[in-house]
Amino acid sequence: MIDNYLTLRRHNIEVRYIEGDEASAEETFIVLKEALVFLSKYFCIRDLFPPIRAILVLNRSEYDHIVINLLGVDIEIPSNPARIAQPQKTDIVFLSPSAYKDHSIYEYNLDEYRRLVFHELTHVFEEYLTPDIETTPRWWSEGLAACLAGQWRYEDEFRQPVLKGIKEKRIPDIEIIRASTQLCYEWGWTIVMFIERTYGTEIILRIVKECNNGNVLGIISADLKNFEKRWKKWLLESWENSANFA
């Protein structure tokens, strides 16, 4: 399926790419290497992480073909042009930055691409560590990835809805966030950040490694109503003291 792809392989990272896309392959490798070091330390992984493979594709139809037939992930055909990355176990398929102009809704930005790669590798780590990734709430997975990748700090699609909601004192309830894919991306990271800053990084690790039924708050023995009240209060205070939210 990818026999005609070239291979960039160093240590336990492999990037497969089409001839002519060497620059994107090299950049992807560099970010994967940096993210691998950070995430291994963050999640306290002392042994060598399993081999990671990234596959860079140059058009939408190839992206769909490889995601469905190699990763075994069921997506719509043709896939939404907003889809540019898909992880599964230790593989990640990326629409190459070289293909953004014709095959995605995005304009290529190096810093945003680096954060995207970091985001997707976070999903790989979570799937590797968690007892049952299928039960993990979307708000938690996307929130964790956006939080660790730093997308919340720089990218409008993560940051602006939250800042607007805080400013207008219109913060959605957690149950509403859970029910909306878009809100999971926009607000999930704030819940993850609140947990980390309130309970510590060790609780993040416990949730990732122990939560096997989707009940994230159960790991911290938190009542939803009380937790939600404290989370909203923290968000409003963070707006007033912007240093906490930068």
The whole-number average pLDDT for the span 1-7 is 95
pTM confidence score: 0.95
Closest to 12 measured CA to CA, from 31, 32, 41: 32
Q: Is the pLDDT of residue 56 over 60?
A: yes
Instruction: Quote the percentage of the chain above a pLDDT of 90.
Output: 94
11 CB-near residues (< 8 Å, 6+ apart): 33
Tokens representing 210 are: 């122990």
Amino acid 224: pLDDT: 95
Q: Is the pLDDT of residue 63 over 90?
A: yes
DSSP state for residue 173 in the 8-state scheme: P
Amino acid 238: pLDDT: 82
| Structural contact between residues 113 and 27, judged by C-beta atoms closer than 8 angstroms | yes
**Domain layout of the chain by residue ranges:** 6-129, 133-245
Collapsing DSSP to helix, strand or coil, 239 comes out as helix
Place 240 in a pLDDT band, splitting at 50, 70 and 90: low
| Structural contact between residues 87 and 79, judged by C-beta atoms closer than 8 angstroms | no
Parallel, antiparallel, or unpaired for β 91-95 and 52-57? parallel
Please, what sign has the CA dihedral across residues 227, 232, 237, 239?
A: positive
pLDDT digits (tens, 9 = 90+) for 195-227: 999 999 999 999 999 999 999 999 999 999 999
DSSP string, 195-219: HHHHH-HHHHHHHHHH--SS-HHHH
| Structural contact between residues 96 and 57, judged by C-beta atoms closer than 8 angstroms | yes
Cα 228 to Cα 173: distance, rounded to the nearest angstrom: 7
Amino acid 195: pLDDT: 97
Closest to 40 measured CA to CA, from 121, 107, 99, 146: 121
Closest to 112 measured CA to CA, from 85, 75, 131, 89: 85
Parallel, antiparallel, or unpaired for β 13-17 and 6-10? antiparallel
pLDDT digits (tens, 9 = 90+) for 81-122: 999 999 999 999 999 999 999 999 999 999 999 999 999 999
pLDDT digits (tens, 9 = 90+) for 136-146: 999 999 999 99
Q: Which fold has domain 6-129?
A: Glutaredoxin (3.40.30)
Amino acid 30: pLDDT: 98
